[in-house]
């Protein structure tokens, strides 16, 4: 896939060329492309005058950053303690049965990625599932197929 | 009289649909000239489980689980005629409806200082904050010398709310003592402990109180720049804090001349990258500088050499939210609340298997029993209480015999747990303590930055041992190995993450050793959680044939005719436990792998 350098450059231009903005720039790229493309890494390396290797260590250290493209819809399953003891693990198994993906994997059609995330601070609604920006509280295995097919139908 | 309708728009209530409720109020009130009211979208009220929450002032009426379809009735009955809609009121333990928050058993025992404005004001409106006395502390602090501010902080006895409990006044005074400029003030909003969400609630619901606290700190230590490091996952918090900084700049509370004094302070938000270890002070500062967030050894404290090697004060969100109150009311008044060594109040996130979950703020020294039973209403579904996990992954599990311990910075430490940042996860007899320990170790081994060996390798080995025990391959000598590994990690890890990582394992070993032994010796998980050790079946005498289990079973293992006892096919059963949660008759029983 050919990415437009214009898009990458417009993210870079929002920040001064200083190391302290490195994480913020990478987060913006992640948000824009659902991953950090190689072209973005190279452009950032030049912009900050910073070796590609140290950007690589940033990208692999922070959980919010990914070097592989993610699916169109990101399913975040909270596995904080409250969600864990109220049944996050059976939900993870349920998603695997329905979509055939484990955590950090993407469906073959590129529609969904599953992330197992740390506490989202919505413990009162445990267990919590977030698809893109929408929160689904008090999740059950029963509700799962309906919620997921909603996103699938939207596609077709 | 004009009514004030407050619709809770914290993350919890938004997930329950409160935005639509607020929009419906706005739409209908706009159409009906007879309705005189002001609609305010507030921050989190803390009682998220029962959201969306709507409060009508000045009547002090609070409604719970409000749906869009309830809005016309509320406007007609309550706003126009001052009557209550009884079905939307909260019912107390005896089933009696309660009208106001003051009468609600969840809110009545609370004393709100850090959460004083949340749920009352619109966080997006700086005038709302000013109307409750906001920025009075900053005004007062501008007229004080740095020493006077520091004396007030010392007198308050405020200790860091992030978990470590270091005296805030001492930290500020140390930073103030260095003649190295620039200095920095920073706010730790990288709330990572699973089960704690008070910082999210404060940043979302009352961002100006944190900004004001930072501004007071900046005046005391002589800083002109500051950062709020906030988890990127907290999208609403990031948005509200950024808007609050802009509003404060426009009004002259921040910027090149704070309230015309000529003193400068510029604040900005840094979004976290989703690494738990970045809640550790030195790692957080690395991350603010745009680097990989690895902690360093603290021979030199960050108050001396923090951000860019300059003196930096880093305080937790809740700590900073207390500061304006202390400056306005005086340190001595604040010190009148709480215990001898832990002053003021603490916010707890009461979650897990407790009836009333949510955020509660009480004076330091309240007992666990008071929190869990009086405020929380006891264990969900009246199941037996097994343990409460306090202090996140650095804390421990406390058994029922210790429920009368007071909660403050020091007491729980003596018993192998800690108050920590205030997460309290209640567990019942269906929570397996070995699996809980394994869960925390798995969490931490994923979050260990890998810089020091005891933490990186110790957690890896602990995880392997605990997984073996949970899956039926444990040996009795593993328990001694866990203890000695844990002690080594406590002694020799670089930062607090590794030093406190063994706490969940050591505390469960200490108080729930018999559960470990049941897993190892009898291949049995007493809570029926560990899949490899648990078989599910139906007790035909208790089964009413309601087919609830059949509906929830994901693999079709549960089957049966209505009104006839059901059965579970062991070949198909994956031991997920869904049937047990769904059964209202207690008919699903668990047996160990080795049991007949």
Return the residue of A nearest to B424 by Cα: A82
Band (pLDDT 50/70/90 cuts) for residue A2 is low
Residue B260 DSSP code: G
The closest CB to that of B425, out of A19, A85, A141, belongs to A85
CA distance A90 to A78: 12
Return the residue of B nearest to A28 by Cα: B271
- For an interface test with A, give the residue of B13, B15, B268, B275 to mutate (most A CBs within 10 A): B15
Could you read off the pLDDT of A59-89 as tens digits, one per residue? 999 988 999 999 999 999 999 888 988 889 8
Residues 6+ apart with CB under 8 A from B521: B476
- Residue matched to tokens 């509200």: B240
Task: Give the SS3 label for residue A135.
Answer: strand
**Contact between B147 and B154 (Cβ < 8 Å):** no
**Contact between A116 and A91 (Cβ < 8 Å):** no
CA B510 to chain centre: 26
In whole numbers, what is the pLDDT of chain B averaged over residues? 93
Could you read off the pLDDT of B507-516 as tens digits, one per residue? 999 999 999 9
A127: cis peptide before it, omega within 30°?
A: yes
A73-154 sits in which CATH class? alpha beta
Could you read off the pLDDT of B501-541 as tens digits, one per residue? 999 999 999 999 999 999 999 999 999 999 999 999 999 99
Parallel, antiparallel, or unpaired for β B54-57 and B37-42?
unpaired
Band (pLDDT 50/70/90 cuts) for residue B249 is very high
Please say whether the structural domain B345-428 has been given the CATH code 3.30.360.10. Answer: no
Band (pLDDT 50/70/90 cuts) for residue B555 is confident
- For an interface test with B, give the residue of A44, A104, A123 to mutate (most B CBs within 10 A): A123
**Contact between B496 and B394 (Cβ < 8 Å):** yes
CA distance B254 to B215: 8
Predicted local confidence at residue B93, as pLDDT? 83
The closest CB to that of A137, out of B15, B47, B289, belongs to B15
Predicted local confidence at residue B424, as pLDDT? 92
* Residues listed for chain B: 596
Q: In this model, does residue B596 exceed pLDDT 70?
A: no
B3-98 sits in which CATH class? alpha beta
Q: In this model, does residue B35 exceed pLDDT 80?
A: no
Predicted local confidence at residue B277, as pLDDT? 92
Band (pLDDT 50/70/90 cuts) for residue A122 is confident
- For an interface test with B, give the residue of A124, A126, A130, A148 to mutate (most B CBs within 10 A): A124
Cα distances (Å, whole numbers) of residue B428 to B64, B214, B251, B422, B523: 26, 40, 51, 19, 21
Task: Give the SS3 label for residue B258.
Answer: helix
Give the residue extent of every domain in chain B: 3-98, 126-335, 345-428, 433-521, 531-592
Domain limits, CATH 3.40.30.10, in chain A: 73-154
For the beta carbon of residue B373, count every other beta carbon within 10 angstroms: 16
Across B364-384, average pLDDT: 94
**Contact between B413 and B463 (Cβ < 8 Å):** no
**Contact between B268 and B184 (Cβ < 8 Å):** no
Predicted local confidence at residue B546, as pLDDT? 93
Could you read off the pLDDT of B61-96 as tens digits, one per residue? 999 999 999 999 999 999 888 899 999 999 988 889
Range of A3-12, B339-348, B408-417 with top mean pLDDT? B339-348
Task: Give the SS3 label for residue B584.
Answer: coil
Percent of chain B scored above 70 by pLDDT?
Answer: 100
Q: Comparing A48-57, A133-142, B133-142, which segment has the lowest mean pLDDT?
A: A133-142
The closest CB to that of A21, out of B12, B290, B436, belongs to B290
For the beta carbon of residue B570, count every other beta carbon within 10 angstroms: 11
Contact B197 A123 (CB under 8 A): yes
Q: Comparing A49-63, B35-49, B273-287, which segment has the lowest mean pLDDT?
A: B35-49
For the beta carbon of residue A156, count every other beta carbon within 10 angstroms: 4
What string of DSSP letters covers B152-194? HHHHHT-B-TTTT--BHHHHHHHHHT---SS-EEEEEE---ST
CA distance B65 to B58: 20
In the numeric block, which tokens belong to residue B442?
């798995």
- Using an 8 Å CB-CB cutoff, list chain B residues near A128: 15
Residues 6+ apart with CB under 8 A from B33: none
Residues 6+ apart with CB under 8 A from A23: A58, A62, B270, B271, B273, B287, B290
Return the residue of B nearest to A21 by Cα: B290
Q: Domain B531-592 belongs to what architecture? A: 2-Layer Sandwich (3.30)
- Using an 8 Å CB-CB cutoff, list chain A residues near B397: none
In the numeric block, which tokens belong to residue A50?
């910073």
CA B332 to chain centre: 28
- Using an 8 Å CB-CB cutoff, list chain B residues near A81: 194-195, 351-352, 389, 392, 423, 425, 436, 439-440
Contact A62 B274 (CB under 8 A): yes
Percent of chain A scored above 90 by pLDDT?
Answer: 69
Q: In this model, does residue B416 exceed pLDDT 80?
A: no
The CATH number fitting domain B126-335, selected from 3.20.80.10, 3.40.50.11540, 3.40.30.10, 3.40.50.300:
3.40.50.11540
Largest CA distance in chain A: 52
Residues 6+ apart with CB under 8 A from B468: B474, B475, B478
CA distance B136 to B129: 10
Please say whether the structural domain B433-521 has been given the CATH code 1.20.1440.230. Answer: yes
CA distance B147 to B278: 32
Band (pLDDT 50/70/90 cuts) for residue B31 is confident
In the numeric block, which tokens belong to residue B336?
């009148």
Task: Give the SS3 label for residue B316.
Answer: strand
- Residue matched to tokens 């009480």: B362
Across B571-580, average pLDDT: 89
Contact A23 B357 (CB under 8 A): no
The counts of H helices and E strands in chain A are 7, 5
Torsion angles phi and psi, residue B425, rounded to 5: -110, 115
- Interface ipTM: 0.90
């Amino acid at each position: 896939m050919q990415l437009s350098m214009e898009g990458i450059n417009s993210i870079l231009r929002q920040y001064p060329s200083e190391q302290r903005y490195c994480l913020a720039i990478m987060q913006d790229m992640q948000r824009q492309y659902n991953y950090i493309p190689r072209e973005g890494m190279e452009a950032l390396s030049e912009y900050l005058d910073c070796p590609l290797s140290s950007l690589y260590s940033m990208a692999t250290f922070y959980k919010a950053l990914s070097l592989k493209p993610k699916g169109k819809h990101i399913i975040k399953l909270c596995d904080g303690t409250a969600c864990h003891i109220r049944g996050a693990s059976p939900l993870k198994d349920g998603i695997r049965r329905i979509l055939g993906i484990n955590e950090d994997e993407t469906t073959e059609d590129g529609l969904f990625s599953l992330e197992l995330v740390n506490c989202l601070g919505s413990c009162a609604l445990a267990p919590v599932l977030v698809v893109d920006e929408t929160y689904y509280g008090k999740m059950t295995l029963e509700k799962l197929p309906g919620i997921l097919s909603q996103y699938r139908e939207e596609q077709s | 009289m004009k009514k004030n309708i407050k619709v809770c728009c914290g993350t919890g209530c938004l997930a329950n649909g409160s935005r639509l409720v607020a929009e419906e109020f706005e739409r209908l009130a706009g159409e009906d000239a007879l309705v005189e009211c002001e609609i305010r979208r507030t921050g989190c009220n803390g009682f998220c489980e029962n959201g969306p929450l709507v409060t009508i002032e000045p009547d002090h009426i609070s409604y719970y689980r409000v749906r869009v379809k309830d809005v016309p009735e509320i406007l007609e009955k309550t706003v126009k005629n001052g009557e209550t809609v009884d079905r939307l009121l909260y019912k107390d333990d005896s089933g009696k409806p309660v009208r106001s928050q003051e009468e609600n058993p969840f809110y009545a025992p609370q004393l709100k200082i850090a959460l004083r404005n949340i749920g009352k004001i619109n966080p997006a409106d700086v005038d709302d904050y000013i109307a409750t006395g906001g920025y009075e502390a900053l005004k007062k602090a501008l007229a004080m010398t740095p020493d006077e501010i520091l004396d007030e902080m010392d007198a308050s006895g405020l200790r860091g709310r992030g978990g470590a409990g270091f005296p805030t006044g001492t930290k500020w005074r140390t930073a103030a003592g260095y003649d190295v400029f620039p200095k920095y003030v920073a706010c730790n909003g990288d709330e990572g402990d699973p089960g704690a969400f008070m910082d999210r609630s404060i940043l979302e619901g009352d961002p100006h109180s944190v900004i004001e606290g930072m501004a007071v700190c900046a005046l005391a230590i002589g800083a002109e720049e500051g950062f709020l490091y906030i988890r990127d996952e907290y999208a609403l918090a990031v948005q509200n804090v950024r808007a609050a900084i802009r509003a404060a700049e426009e009004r002259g509370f921040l910027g090149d001349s704070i309230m015309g004094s000529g003193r400068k302070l510029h604040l900005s938000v840094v979004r976290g990258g989703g690494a738990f270890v970045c809640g550790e002070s030195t790692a957080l500062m690395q991350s603010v500088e745009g680097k990989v967030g690895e902690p360093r050894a603290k021979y030199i404290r960050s108050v001396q050499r923090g951000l860019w090697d300059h003196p930096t004060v880093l305080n937790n969100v809740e700590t900073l939210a207390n500061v304006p109150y202390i400056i306005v009311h005086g340190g001595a008044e604040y010190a009148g609340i709480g215990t001898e060594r832990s002053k003021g109040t603490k916010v707890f996130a009461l979650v897990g298997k407790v009836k009333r979950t949510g955020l509660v703020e009480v004076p330091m020294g309240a007992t666990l029993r008071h929190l869990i039973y009086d405020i929380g209403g006891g264990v969900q579904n009246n199941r037996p209480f097994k343990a409460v996990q306090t202090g996140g992954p650095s804390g421990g599990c406390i058994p029922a015999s210790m429920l009368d311990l007071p909660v403050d910075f020091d007491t729980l430490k003596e018993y192998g747990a800690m108050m920590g940042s205030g997460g309290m996860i209640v567990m019942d007899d269906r929570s397996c303590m070995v699996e809980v320990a394994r869960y925390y170790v798995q969490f931490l081994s994923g979050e260990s930055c890998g810089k020091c060996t005891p933490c990186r390798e110790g957690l890896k080995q602990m995880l392997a041992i605990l997984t073996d025990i949970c899956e039926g391959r444990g040996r009795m000598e593993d328990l001694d190995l866990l203890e000695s590994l844990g002690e080594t990690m406590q002694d020799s890890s670089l930062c607090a993450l590794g030093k406190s990582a063994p706490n969940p394992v050591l505390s469960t070993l200490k108080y729930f050793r018999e559960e470990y032994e049941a897993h190892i010796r009898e291949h049995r998980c007493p809570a029926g959680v560990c899949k490899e050790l648990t078989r599910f079946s139906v007790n035909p005498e208790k089964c009413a044939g309601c087919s609830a289990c059949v509906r929830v079973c994901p693999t079709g293992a549960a089957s049966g005719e209505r009104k006839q006892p059901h059965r579970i096919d062991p070949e198909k059963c994956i031991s997920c436990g869904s049937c047990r949660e769904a059964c209202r008759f207690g008919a699903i029983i668990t047996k160990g792998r080795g049991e007949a």
